[in-house]
A and B are shown apart, each in its own frame.
Chain A
Amino acid sequence: MTLLKPAVGRALGWAALAALVVLALFGLWGAPPDDVQGDAQRLMYLHVPAAWIAYLAFGVTAFSSALWLWPRTRAAVWDRIAGSSAELGVLFTALTLMLGSLWGRPVWGVWWAWDARLVTTAVLLFLYLGYLALRKVPAAPEARAKRCAIAALIAFVDVPLVHFSVSWWRTLHQEATVFDPELKANIHGVMAFTLWWGVLAFTLVYVYLLDRRYRLESLEEDLEQRELEQAIAERVAGAGTPGRGSRKEEVPVG
């Protein structure tokens, strides 16, 4: 009941850990300090990959939700992936905000600024916190999956609207560097390598955690099913035992 074969999952876990160690070495010592921002800029190697993985995770949630809603591809696996990925998305979004806050303090002089991308990211966090809250509400699996898939798609469609309206409202964040077509990624070679390595390491962590979370979700569903079956069995057995009913004229069900 895992996404990946157990051996592959374990190998992925070790690979993710090794990648993180390499990232720490390059991020802290391998890459040179920034000319303007000094060592504070090293937070970029965590902040930017975390943000990208958060987007990836929400993208996966939207994609799996759409697959669940599409009648031909409807399967419980998509619902589980959507939920697991949304949880990781919230985790990485929160991480992005926290790391950004730590970075903003020395560079901008404030923990938080009312800048377009910050505000959008905060709204993104709340959108998916709501989605996770909805997932927690007890309901029949099919009904819950449908409700959650629709909520995930609405949230996904809402993100560009939030982004667009907030950017019109205010913008102060440094412009996107890597994907700026005019700049042609004018970053020091080792810095660029470290950044890309960070994305790779975080992707491995994401896939590993997704696999784990998926397994946990399957086990939880399994447990629920077994508890239900046990309760039914006990109920049936209890009803069959004479003398357990409160009234003597009660007919035993069997």
Chain B
Amino acid sequence: MNLAQEVGLVAGKDLRIERRARVTLQQILPFGAIVLLLFAFALDPDRGVLRRVAPGLFWVAVLLAVLLAVSRAFTIETEHAARDGLRLSGLDPAAIFLGKAAAIAVQLVVLEALLAAGVVLLFDVSLSSIGPLVLATLAATVGLAATGTLYGVLAVGLRMRETLVPVLLLPVVSPVLLGATRAWEAAIDGAPSDAWPWVGVLSVFAVLAVGAGMLAFGPLLEEA
């Protein structure tokens, strides 16, 4: 089996579990939606504040959802000694990392599409210049999924895991929040050329995160 097949195997497993259990769709998505609603309660929707800060609110909601998605992705490995199964499977640790990250990324893309629809509907935002918007979102999603997977395996099996992952993950992914928000702002304001540098930053982050994950996942899985 080559790397791509192994990645597909692990990603397929995680997505199959999601298709059957529907935790992302029935718990994490409603969570993201209620966060958007809470933002509207906190910031008066009548004064146009929401429309101006919509990109930031969207990405904060995504970031909070990432925490849940990462937690879920490693909860499924704690039951029935699934982690030992993974370790003994003989799969390349880099492939396990890429597979789990890919599964998280796919779920995040679905989540982001639905939350973006929510932002358009609730906050009265019109999404123009789709090109940079989509590319920025994809690059940010890859970066978030890879970093999340890395910290997920770092904390799996530890006591205090639920509190540890946010405090480790959120500062590390702060450039993603910054870059993705700025890229979205530029795209929405009709200045797509301002979005491209941020797409670059997000891509660099994504590449580094994937590289670091492929290197570090094996040693971390051993200890998990």
Which of A129, A138, A150, A157 is B154 in contact with, Cβ under 8 Å? A150
Q: A146-B220, A157-B208 are contacts. A166–B178 as well, Cβ < 8 Å?
A: yes
Whether A165 lies near B178 (C-beta < 8 A) is yes
Which of chain A's residues have a CB closer than 8 A to the CB of B212? 154, 157
Interface string of A99-139 (1 = CB under 8 A from B): 00000000000000000000000010011011101100111
Interface string of B154-172 (1 = CB under 8 A from A): 1100111000100110111
Which of A133, A138, A154, A168 is B150 in contact with, Cβ under 8 Å? A154
Which of chain A's residues have a CB closer than 8 A to the CB of B208? 157, 161
Which of chain B's residues have a CB closer than 8 A to the CB of A168? 197, 201
B204 at the interface (CB under 8 A from A): yes
Which of chain B's residues have a CB closer than 8 A to the CB of A126? 167, 170-171
Q: Which of B118-146 contact A (CB under 8 A)?
A: none
- Classify chain A: how many residues form its interface, as a range: 20 to 34
Whether B178 lies near A137 (C-beta < 8 A) is no
Size of the B side of the interface (Cβ < 8 Å), in residues, is 27
Which of B167, B175, B223 is A146 in contact with, Cβ under 8 Å? B223
Whether B154 lies near A162 (C-beta < 8 A) is no
Which of chain A's residues have a CB closer than 8 A to the CB of B175? 158, 161-162, 164-166
Which of B174, B179, B201, B216 is A123 in contact with, Cβ under 8 Å? B174
What residue of chain A has the Cβ atom nearest to residue B163's Cβ?
A: A133
Which of chain A's residues have a CB closer than 8 A to the CB of B159? 137-138
Which of A123, A139, A146, A165 is B219 in contact with, Cβ under 8 Å? A146
Which of chain B's residues have a CB closer than 8 A to the CB of A157? 208, 212
Which of chain A's residues have a CB closer than 8 A to the CB of B150? 154
B100 at the interface (CB under 8 A from A): no
Smallest beta-carbon distance B178→chain A, Å: 5
A residues near B (Cβ < 8 Å) are 123, 126-127, 129-131, 133-134, 137-139, 142-143, 146-147, 150-151, 154-155, 157-158, 161-162, 164-166, 168-169
